[in-house]
Amino acid sequence: MAIQRVGVVGCGLMGSGIAQVVAAAGFETTVREVNAELVEKGLKGIEKNLNRLVEKGTITDAAKGQIRSRLKGTTSIDDLKGCDVIVEAIIEQLPAKRELFSALDKICPPATIFASNTSSLTITEIATATKRPERFVGLHFFNPVPVMKLVEVVRTIATDPAVYEEMVAFGVKLGKTAVRANDSTGFIVNRLLVPYLLDAIRALEEGVGSIEDIDNSMKLGCGHPMGPLTLLDFVGLDTTYYISQIMFDEFKERRFAAPPLLKRMVLAGWNGRKSGRGFYDYSDPANPKALKF
C-alpha cells in the first residue's frame, strides 16, 4: 500500500510536532483536536516553527507554503476516514486511547494502519480495542519531534510483519532513524532513560550534589545536551511520574519507583518548564534559576 494520506489525532506538543514532520515529508496530513481553539493553537505552533526554519534558511518560503497546504486541521473524527495511516498522540490514558481507536476502527477501511505515540502504555492493550490488532503498531517520537532524529517502531505479538516493515519504512520517510522495539513497557528509550532520570532525583535527595552540579556533571562529563534535572523539567515532572508508575507497576523494580521528592513536586503542581517551576524557576525563561531544597 502506498501511504499518501496520514491522520494525526491530538495537536498538542507531540501531535503538532508529528503533524509537522508528516506534512514536511510530503504526506497529505489531517490533524484532529477536540475543539477549534486547540486546532488553532496547534497549527499556530507549527506555523511558528516553520517560520523559524524559513528565517534560518533551512527551508524556502515556497517549501513552507507547500507544507502548510498539505496540512489541515479538523475537529471531526470523520475527516480521518480516508487516511492510510493514523497516528494517535492524545492524552496518555488507556481508556481515552481505547475509546478513540474503537471509534476509528468503525469508520476507517480495513486497510488503514493505526499507530499510537504512547510512551509507556502497552500497545497490545490499545490495539485490542480494535478489530485490527494485526494492523496496529507503536510509533514513539521524542520531544521536540521536528528536531529529535529517532522514532521507535513498536510491534506486538499480533502485528503483521508486512505492516510492521511498512511502518519502519514510513518512519524513515519522515526523516527519522527508525529503531525496532517489541511491546515491552517503556520500549527501549524509556526503559533506559526513566531509571536514569529517577536516579538523578535520588542523588539530589541524598545530597550527592546540587541541582546545577548534577546537571553539569552529566552535560559536561557525558556530553548530554541537557542535564537530567533540566531534562525532567523539559519532559514534565507529571509526565515522568506517570510513566514511572506504569513502569513500576509492570516490572515491580525499585529503579522504576518514583522518588518521594518527585511525588511531592507533582502534588505541589511543580511540573517543570510548562508550569513555570520544577527543579528550576522559569520566571525568566531565558535564565532559569535552580531551586534550593
Cis peptide bond upstream of 285, omega within 30:
no
Looking at 2, 55, 56, 252, which residue binds ligand 3HC (CB under 6 A)? Answer: 56
Residue 144 has φ and ψ, to the nearest 5°, of: -80, 130
What torsion do the CA atoms of 79, 32, 168, 97 make, to the nearest 10 degrees?
A: -110
Stretch that binds ligand 3HC, among 28-36, 48-56, 121-129, 206-214 (CB under 6 A): 48-56
Q: How far is the CB of 260 from ligand 3HC (least distance, A)?
A: 21
Query: Is 119 designated active site?
Result: yes
Query: Is 134 designated active site?
Result: no
Would you say 228 and 196 are in contact if contact means Cβ atoms under 8 Å apart? yes
Q: Does residue 48 belong to the site contacting ligand 3HC (CB under 6 A)?
A: no
Per-residue contact flags (x/-) with ligand 3HC for residues 182 to 211, judged by CB under 6 A: --------x---------------------
Cβ atoms within 10 Å, residue 289: 13
Footprint on residues 143-172 left by ligand 3HC (CB under 6 A): 143-144, 146-148
The catalytic position among 88, 92, 152, 166 is 152
What torsion do the CA atoms of 120, 141, 80, 109 make, to the nearest 10 degrees?
A: -70
Cβ atoms within 10 Å, residue 25: 18
Cβ distance to ligand 3HC smaller for residue 83 or 258: 258
Q: How far apart are CA 92 and CA 167, in angstroms?
A: 22
Stretch that binds ligand 3HC, among 21-29, 52-60, 99-107, 128-136 (CB under 6 A): 52-60
Query: Is 140 designated active site?
Result: yes
- Residue appearing with cell numbers 494525526: 8
Please report, as ranges, the residues that interact with ligand 3HC according to CB under 6 A.
Answer: 49, 52, 56, 58, 119, 142-144, 146-148, 190, 225-226, 231, 235
**Which residues are known catalytic residues?**
119, 140, 152, 190
